[in-house]
Structure 1
Amino acid sequence: MQVSVENVGNLGRKLTVRIPAARLEDTVRNRVQEMGRNARLKGFRPGKVPTKVIEQRFGAQIRGEALSELIGSSFQEAVSNEKLRPAMQPSISTSGKPDNGEIEYTASFEVMPEIGAIDVSGLEIVKQVSSVEDADIDTMIQTLRVQRQTWNPIDRPAQAGDMVLFEFAAQASDFRYPETGTDRVGTIVGSDALFKGLEDELLGHVVDDEFEKDLDFPSDFRIEGLAGKSAHASFKIVRVQEPKLPELDDAFLSTFGVFEGGLEKFREDVRSNLERELEAALASRLKASAVEKLIDAHADLELPNGLIESEARELAKQSAGGKQENVAHEPFMASARRRVAGGILLAEIARQNEIRVDMRRVSASLSAIASTYEEPEQVVELYSKDAQLMSGLQSRVLEDQVIDWIAEKAMVSEHKLTFSEIMRPGA
């Protein structure tokens, strides 16, 4: 095998590889013979299909597969011998036809940047710390009760927190909603699910009350013809219901799988769940802080454009809810660059310092993931059988190990926050 390398810019490489055509022909011949021994074709006894028939029917397919595998294996051999580290899969160009007893192909790709030794000792990283307090458990239990509250019809006037069902119509200049009759609408007074001005008008009214009001609808109101306009609205109260929280009795606790130990056991379970969520949130914030500082310290690092493009397209796809749509990826290029830079730097730290994935941490992480499902053993089995899922989990665990390593070497200051501050998005 003959290999030549051409530099195309700082990170681009063009690899030209020449392979003896005999290697391909030997592989094709062996596969044709093997297929002849195993193929079952109408009109031929098993194992007695003539080679010529196999070549006629499957020759192109066999040759294509053999060529693809030969290119793949020889490419890996070539980049290993040349000490190249491709950033992505190469773009291959070849006729696939022998010329002077050789098959030639070119592989175009970008390589990982040469970073040099990474020193993290000067990074100033903020490590946020927190703990789960009894008040946090009380708050979560109250939230769980609210999620399971029932609504009971009442005769008293509506007040904040009540659920009110009402018939509604509104006229704004030449637009009427609905076109005829009324629409039946429900809301919890004070939730601003509709908007405050409308919900405030429901206060103090009882079932069968009818009244009219002039309202200024907000610009983001869900009914386009009323959004940002003034309208004359009519109301009729159909039903008023007040919330009733479930008691913290055995029936309530059993819905969370607590059949023994009562409220004390329930509080222990809630604490365990909150502590698991807190641990994950703190780790995520530490990682974000460390990676941010690491990227800023290597702001001039040249990165493979292909990786940035790919990451930007993935971010664009995620922004569209994962749909296969032609979403412009250019607005995501800056974010993609930082994500790629962070990934490359973390991987390089692992490589330079021989940090290997800790399979015990992988198992612990998988157990934590599985514990959030009703049938955790099925989740474990799914990961065990899906190489891509397991590889992704191992990569995340390895990154966490690198973050821990950075935190040991860098200048770390602690900043204490409450549980609710940690768990609040954007805090």
Structure 2
Amino acid sequence: MQVSVENIGTLERKLTVKFPAERFETQVTARIAEMGRTVRLKGFRPGKVPTTVIKQRFGAQVRGEVLSDLIGSTLREAVEQEKLQPIANPSINTTGQPENGEIAYTATFEVMPEFPAIDVSGLEINRPVAEVTDADIDKMLETLRQQRRSFDEVERASAEGDFVMFEYSAQAGDYRFPAEGMERAGSVLGSGNLFKALDDALLTRMADDSFDTEIAFPDDFRNEELAGKTAKVSFKIIKVQEPKLPEIDSEFARLFGIEDGDLEVFRKEVRANLERELKAALMARLKSEVAEKLANTHGELDVPKLMVQSEAQNMAAGNVPRGQQPPPQLIEAAMPIAHKRVIAGLLMGEIARKQSLVIDRKRIAEQLAAIASTYEEPEKVIELYNGDPQLMSGLQNRVMEDQVAEWVAEHAKTTQQDLSFDDVMRPANA
């Protein structure tokens, strides 16, 4: 077998491999002989199918399979021989035809970059810390009350927090919505489901009220014919309902799985859930901080284009409905951030390798338990992960990233940042 390597880019390699055509023909002959002993064809007894018939019926298929197998095995040998690290399956190009007694093919792929020495001692890391307080638990209980609220119809003017059902039509120039009749809708006033001008129009209204008013629709309104325009809107109030909040008592606790209704047990459960969420959010912030600082410090690192493209594709896919392909412009817009993410991910992997970090099995079990606890049948989720190598691999990678982030924080110039529970849980872009 002859092997040669050509650098066709910073990280792109073109591997040319040649192997004896005789090796190929020998394996084809052996495969056809094997089929002669096992294949069943109408009109022939088992094991008695003539070789010429097998070649005629299956020859092209066998030659294709043998060529594919030989390319796979010789490629593995060649990559190992040349000490290369392809990041994905190579692109193979071959005629498959012998020439001068040899069959040749080329394999084009990207390899892992050569990493610089990674010194984290100069990195300035802000590490957020926070704890769950009694006030946070009270706030969560109030949120749970709001989620379990009911509404009772009232004969008074609407106020913030009330549910209002109404019918409406909007006229902007020659455009009318709906084209005929009225559209029915409903919303809790002040909830943010409607834009403020519409909320304000529905305040202090009673059932059976009918009225017209001018409303300026926001630029991002879902109806493009009304977005950014002022329209005459006709309303009819169908009904007004006021919220009724449940008491936080034993019956309320039972709604959340506390069988004996013990409120102290209920509060402990709420605290445990909040602490689990807080721990995950704190780690996510630390990982983001470490990744950002690593990527900024080593922004010149060459990384495989395929990895950046794949990351940008995944990022863009998160911004379109599930099952739809993101448009090219959305993928292109994600490329700069994807590039930084790939740099950070590769550097964190290199730190784990250089520092010989061993994955913490206890953390794996804890994270898996945390994931499973959010489902109705946690034991089935744990069983699913344990039986799916891909899911388990993803979990292990996340845990290793946690460990790397903590290692960097321990060896960098790290400043503790005291935050409240709400500060931590608030989205980073809020």
| TM, length-normalised to structure 1 | 0.91
Q: What is the match of residue 365 of structure 1?
A: 367
Give 3-state SS (helix, strand or coil) of 2:186's partner: strand
Q: Could you tell me how far apart the structure 2 residues matched to 1:250 and 1:48 are?
A: 81
CA 1:295–1:181 in 2, change beyond 3 Å: closer, same or farther? Answer: closer
Q: What is the match of residue 119 of structure 1?
A: 119
Q: Could you tell me how far apart the structure 2 residues matched to 1:106 and 1:407 are?
A: 45
* Residues 293-321 of structure 1 deviation map (CA, whole Å, 9 limit, x = unaligned): 11111122122223223332333333333
Alignment of 1:121-200 (within 5 A): 121-200=121-200
Q: Could you tell me how far apart the structure 1 residues matched to 2:388 and 2:23 are?
A: 34
Taking only the aligned residue pairs, the percentage that are identical comes to 56
Pick from 384, 394, 397: which aligns with 1:395? 397
Q: Could you tell me how far apart the structure 1 residues matched to 2:10 and 2:180 are?
A: 69
The code of the aligned residue for 1:391 comes to S
Q: What is the match of residue 343 of structure 1?
A: 345
Q: What is the match of residue 404 of structure 1?
A: 406
Give 3-state SS (helix, strand or coil) of 2:381's partner: helix
* Residues 297-351 of structure 1 deviation map (CA, whole Å, 9 limit, x = unaligned): 1122122223223332333333333523543332222112111111211122222
Q: What is the match of residue 312 of structure 1?
A: 312
Q: Which runs of 5+ in 1 are unaligned?
A: none
Q: Is contact 2:295-2:341 (8 Å) kept?
A: no
Q: What is the match of residue 256 of structure 1?
A: 256
Q: Could you tell me how far apart the structure 1 residues matched to 2:339 and 2:36 are?
A: 52
Let me know the Cα RMSD of the aligned residues: 2.4
Query: By how many angstroms is 1:223 displaced?
Result: 4.0
Query: By how many angstroms is 1:370 displaced?
Result: 1.8
CA 1:179–1:303 in 2, change beyond 3 Å: closer, same or farther? Answer: closer
Q: Could you tell me how far apart the structure 1 residues matched to 2:30 and 2:254 are?
A: 65
Q: What is the match of residue 383 of structure 2?
A: 381
CA 1:33–1:391 in 2, change beyond 3 Å: closer, same or farther? Answer: farther
CA 1:65–1:343 in 2, change beyond 3 Å: closer, same or farther? Answer: farther
Q: What is the match of residue 108 of structure 1?
A: 108
Give 3-state SS (helix, strand or coil) of 2:328's partner: coil
Aligned length: 427
Q: Is contact 1:317-1:327 (8 Å) kept?
A: no
* Residues 225-263 of structure 1 deviation map (CA, whole Å, 9 limit, x = unaligned): 444333443333221101111233444323322213521
Which stretch shows the higher mean deviation, 97-106 or 39-48? Answer: 39-48
Query: By how many angstroms is 1:356 displaced?
Result: 3.6
Give 3-state SS (helix, strand or coil) of 1:315's partner: helix
Q: Is contact 2:210-2:237 (8 Å) kept?
A: yes
Q: What is the match of residue 327 of structure 1?
A: 328
CA 1:254–1:354 in 2, change beyond 3 Å: closer, same or farther? Answer: same
| TM, length-normalised to structure 2 | 0.90
Q: Could you tell me how far apart the structure 2 residues matched to 1:160 and 1:301 are?
A: 55
Q: Is contact 2:299-2:340 (8 Å) kept?
A: no
Q: Is contact 2:351-2:404 (8 Å) kept?
A: yes
Which stretch shows the higher mean deviation, 268-277 or 54-63? Answer: 54-63
* Residues 256-293 of structure 1 deviation map (CA, whole Å, 9 limit, x = unaligned): 22213521112111111111111111111111111111
Q: Could you tell me how far apart the structure 2 residues matched to 1:278 and 1:402 are?
A: 19
* Residues 127-153 of structure 1 deviation map (CA, whole Å, 9 limit, x = unaligned): 111111111111112111211211111
CA 1:312–1:169 in 2, change beyond 3 Å: closer, same or farther? Answer: closer
Query: By how many angstroms is 1:416 displaced?
Result: 0.8
Q: Is contact 2:214-2:231 (8 Å) kept?
A: yes
CA 1:100–1:283 in 2, change beyond 3 Å: closer, same or farther? Answer: same
The code of the aligned residue for 2:325 comes to Q
Asked if 1:78 is matched to 2:59, the reply is no
Which stretch shows the higher mean deviation, 32-41 or 349-358? Answer: 32-41
The code of the aligned residue for 1:298 comes to H
Q: Could you tell me how far apart the structure 2 residues matched to 1:26 and 1:357 are?
A: 46
Pick from 341, 353, 356: which aligns with 1:354? 356
Q: Could you tell me how far apart the structure 1 residues matched to 2:194 and 2:158 are?
A: 16
Q: Which runs of 5+ in 2 are unaligned?
A: none
Give 3-state SS (helix, strand or coil) of 1:319's partner: coil
Which stretch shows the higher mean deviation, 255-264 or 52-61? Answer: 52-61
Q: What is the match of residue 237 of structure 1?
A: 237
Asked if 1:211 is matched to 2:200, the reply is no
Q: Is contact 2:313-2:326 (8 Å) kept?
A: no
* Residues 384-414 of structure 1 deviation map (CA, whole Å, 9 limit, x = unaligned): 3333222222222222222222222222111
The code of the aligned residue for 1:101 comes to G
CA 1:405–1:77 in 2, change beyond 3 Å: closer, same or farther? Answer: farther
The code of the aligned residue for 1:59 comes to G
